[in-house]
Amino acid sequence: MKYPVEEIFRTEGIPEFTFVNPPNYNEILVDIRTPGKPVIIEGQSGTGKTTVAKKIIENAFPGGTFGYLSARIAEHMETILNISNGNASGHWIIDDFHRLDSCVQSRIADLVKVAAETFEPSIHPKLVLIGINKVGSGLIMLVHDIAKRCGIHRIQPANKDITLQIMNRGEDKLQIELEGKDAIFEETKGDYWLTQLTCQAICLSRDILETQDSKKKLVYVRDDIRYRLVTRLDNTYREPVKEFARGKRFRPTNDPYFRLLRLIAAQESSVSDLNELANSNPDFRGSINNIKERRIAIVLESKPVCSRYFYYNTDTKTFAIEDPAFFYYLRHLDWEDMRKDCGFRDDPDRYEWDFAISFAGENRELAKLIADMLEVLDCTVFFDEYYETNYLGTAWSRQFREIYGVKARYVICLLDSHHAEKIWPTFERDVFVPRVEEAAVIPIYLDGTLFPGIPRDIVGIDFKGYDGKNEQLVTDKIVYKLEEKLRRV
């Protein structure tokens, strides 16, 4: 019997002929088979979570008593909400659990605890929750002492023997012999999906489209296959990479999103804690810290093509690339070519912030409004409230010398009598006044107070008499002008 190659080495859905049990298959099977016991399967995309769960249910529950639900599928949300509200019984897989609203997650976690305590399958639904980023640990934080009452598993990667089994089964069905299996294992590192994709690509590179009449030897050439895969994926993934890398409002020097993607592509995992990533990569710390609080979420909300491929949790600062094909593409992308394609130019004067705002406490409300509006326009702004946690344990005086002196491209100063009288604004002014000569200081005049070192004829923004009520005036007279100034850099 002849089989098409895509049915043997499957990259979509559950492999029929080349599925091999992961090392911890039996442990997961027993927990799913145990009546009433909730099960959590966590781990990043491509590890086979959904495939293993479906295989177990196919074998252990042949009557089709398990329903499959995904937080990605809009039509499934009504049932998921019914389950979370305690209005549904039965057996359910809830996939992509991490994408549910935190309130829904919490209600389901409460159900899991009650079900685990009572083990009354006739009363409570049997739930198998599948997600990424330590879903089990997240549930433990939501509901104390849940861990000992349910099964929490990660699909263990394929070892060399399992990877060889996948390839051997494919060889038998297609009448081929793959040479270089050790090298294939080194490339795929136990990733089930990548093993399937790589084997399929080897076949296609040698015109093997179906089972052969006689056995044929196929040599694996890593660089050739890697290039073929990246080229094959380019039409699908180049656009979302460019859209995310360019941020909400493109500027040739605004590349923190590009720098973040390039750094993540160099990691082993497609799931990253941005706090940990920033702390372990000093050269990227400023770029990451400037976008992780709000700006990444703004980009994903404003660009649907990005939200389909990137996941970000603003509470946990977890950034994830859930599509394993996409992550493979990123890992082997020509990043210098992508930089040019995005339109970024090398900036010899790389600044950590586009703007730093200097103000007296009496004008904090106006300063925050300006900072918030600039961030919506995808500008990096140093506003002290945004970064207090980053600088805990350090001296503001030292930080301000660096921020207002060298780390901000422009200093916005809200000048009035309060700025002249207060200690901290005066300290900041002493730091940034020398930068007046380089046109890096943009005054916003709130009254007629004169300041040494800031010439009366320096071009600034006249904003005298603002009553704190007309936000549109702030947008038109200050924010848009500042953003336009940045665009002309």
Q: Report pLDDT digits (tens) over 308-321.
A: 889 888 888 999 88
In a domain, 16, yes or no: no
Side by side, the strands of the sheet bearing 310-313 are 271-273, 318-321, 310-313
Domain co-membership, 53 together with 170:
no
- Is residue 373, in this structure, part of any structural domain at all? yes
Same domain assignment for residues 233 and 204: no
Residue 267 lies in a domain: yes
Domain check: are 116 and 138 in the same one?
yes
Q: Is the pLDDT of residue 229 over 90?
A: yes
Q: How much is the pTM? A: 0.70
Find the range with the poorest average confidence among 130-134, 284-288, 484-488.
Answer: 130-134
pLDDT tier at 287, thresholds 50, 70, 90: confident
Please tell me whether residues 163 and 148 are part of one structural domain.
Answer: no
CA distance 454 to 471: 27
User: With the C-alpha atoms ordered 116, 117, 122, 124, is the resulting torsion angle positive or negative?
Assistant: negative
- Structural domain containing residue 31: 25-154
Write the pLDDT tens digit of every residue in 185-227. Answer: 999 988 898 999 999 999 999 999 999 999 999 999 999 999 9
| pLDDT score for 253 | 84
pLDDT at 393 over 60: no
Residues 57 and 162 in one domain: no
Q: Are 175 and 216 in contact (CB under 8 A)?
A: yes
- Let me know whether 396 and 472 are in one domain: yes
Domain CATH code at residue 441: 3.40.50.10140
Is the pLDDT score of 138 beyond 80? no
Q: Does residue 70 fall inside a structural domain? A: yes
- Whether the per-residue pLDDT at 479 is higher than 70: the answer is yes
Return all residues near 162 (Cβ < 8 A) that are at least 6 apart. 20, 21, 22, 23, 190
Average pLDDT over residues 323-348: 89
Judge if 147 and 176 occupy the same domain: no
Q: Is residue 61 part of a domain?
A: yes
Q: Is residue 18 part of a domain?
A: no
Query: Is 19 domain-assigned?
Result: no
pLDDT at residue 46 greater than cutoff 70: no
Which two structure tokens, joined as six digits, stand for 16? 């029929």
81 and 104: one domain?
Answer: yes
Asked if pLDDT for residue 231 goes beyond 60, the answer is: yes
pLDDT at 388 over 70: no
pLDDT exceeds 60 at position 389: no
Angle at the Cα of 16 (from 51 to 75), degrees rounded to 5? 45
Separation of alpha carbons 371 and 477, rounded Å? 14
- Read off the pLDDT of each residue in 147-162 and give the average, rounded to a whole number: 85
406-450: per-residue pLDDT in tens?
999 999 999 999 999 999 999 999 999 999 999 999 999 999 999
Domain identity same for 117 and 185: no
Q: Is residue 87 part of a domain?
A: yes
What value does the mean pLDDT of the chain take?
A: 88
- Is residue 401's pLDDT more than 70? yes
User: Number of folded domains in the chain?
Assistant: 4
Residues 307 and 386 in one domain: no
pLDDT digits (tens, 9 = 90+) for 61-73: 887 788 999 998 9
Same domain, 392 and 316: no
Q: Span 47-63, mean pLDDT? A: 86
Q: How far apart are CA 454 and CA 452, in angstroms?
A: 6
Q: Are strands 126-130 and 39-42 parallel, antiparallel or unpaired?
A: parallel
292 Rama sector, left if φ>0, alpha if ψ -120 to 50, beta otherwise: alpha
Predicted local distance difference test score (pLDDT) of residue 137: 57
Is 144 a residue whose pLDDT tops 60? no
CATH number of the domain residue 119 falls in: 3.40.50.300
More reliable by pLDDT, 456 or 392: 456
